[in-house]
Amino acid sequence: MNRNKFVFTVLFFVVCCIGLGGCGNTQSNAIKSHKTQSYFPVIWETENPPEPRLEVVQFHHEDICDTCTLLQHVIQEVMSTDFSQEFSDGSLIYHSVETKYAENKSIKQTFHAMEEDLCSSIYDHGEYTAIESWVDIFQLAENDPGRLSEAVKNKITKQLANLMKRKEK
């Protein structure tokens, strides 16, 4: 009889450990959603923006650094104030891309982007064309942020002129 009681106790203990262990893992087994790309204005996350358009594309880490945060803020501010018409009609869009995720590898390769990078492109007929690296803007953000807004405004003005030439063709 002692032997049956011992086996029953061990079996009960094993079943309880397995059951409780499974309960503790439900949180870690849950599928988590994480947005790895975003657009500004946010309407373009759910709707198709017009083509052709100018996209300013910022590549950054998941934990966005101070420099990238500054760039994001300045670019969005310049777009929404100095280019409000192009910004509101979708001719000018800010596009943020987290570089560590596999689903973003293709766009990263298209732009020849590093882990943290800043570029612009005219998006037309489903392709990024006229890609321009904004290394100088990235360096200004790190070394001379006081001149950043004006430099961003000049870059966007130049790129929008290229976009208008394309639209005229």
Q: Give the model confidence (pLDDT) of 51-109 as tens digits.
A: 999 999 999 988 888 999 999 999 999 999 999 999 999 999 999 999 988 899 999 99
Report which secondary-structure segment, H or E, holds 53: strand 53-60
- Could you give the angle at the alpha carbon of 94 between the alpha carbons of 62 and 47, nearest 5°? 100
- Per-residue pLDDT at 7: 55
Give the model confidence (pLDDT) of 128-149 as tens digits. Answer: 999 999 999 989 998 998 999 9
| Positive or negative: CA dihedral 118, 119, 120, 125 | negative
For residue 158, give the 3-state DSSP assignment. helix
- Left (φ > 0), alpha (ψ -120 to 50) or beta: where does 150 sit? alpha
**Can you name the CATH fold of 37-168?**
Glutaredoxin (3.40.30)
CA distances 26 to 30, 33, 128, Å, are 6, 16, 42
